[in-house]
Amino acid sequence: MSGTPTSMAAGLQALKQGQAHEAIQIFETFCQKAVPNSREHLQAQMHLVKIYQGLEQNEQAIALCQPLLTCPNAQVQIWTQQTLKGLGVTELEKNRAET
């Protein structure tokens, strides 16, 4: 078995080493294989949001936040709302809700 490591630990290690792009690949692969809305899946998605935000790739961060807004975990929903607010999306969300 070769290629990119696909574990949470590998993604976190890449992040710790400042290898954001490698961490993105690891977390994206992990998310594809993880059980949707499992704790690990949600954590990996949240790490991806933070990485994209750190790289100033806000569109990707916002896109990843959308499914997190409706996940069954209330803490994740709150974190996502706060993150979107930090990305300046609150007005956009309010406008969508009103239409």
Question: For position 15, which CATH number holds?
Answer: 1.25.40
Tens-binned pLDDT, residue by residue, of the chain (99 aa): 345 567 999 999 999 999 999 999 999 999 999 999 899 999 999 999 999 999 999 999 999 999 999 999 999 999 999 999 999 886 555 445 444
Q: What is residue 3's predicted lDDT score, i.e. its pLDDT?
A: 52
Which residue's structure tokens are 């992040």?
15
**Reported pTM:** 0.84
How far is it, in rounded angstroms, from Cα 99 to Cα 87?
21
Asked if residue 2 belongs to a domain, the reply is no
Ramachandran quadrant class, 36 (left: phi over 0; alpha: psi -120 to 50; beta: rest): beta
Q: What is residue 44's predicted lDDT score, i.e. its pLDDT?
A: 96
* Six token digits for residue 47: 């790490």
40: containing domain? 8-98
Q: At what angle do helices 39-54 and 20-33 cross, to 10 degrees?
A: 150
Looking at the structure of the chain, the number of domains it has is 1
26, 11 Cβ separation under 8 angstroms: yes
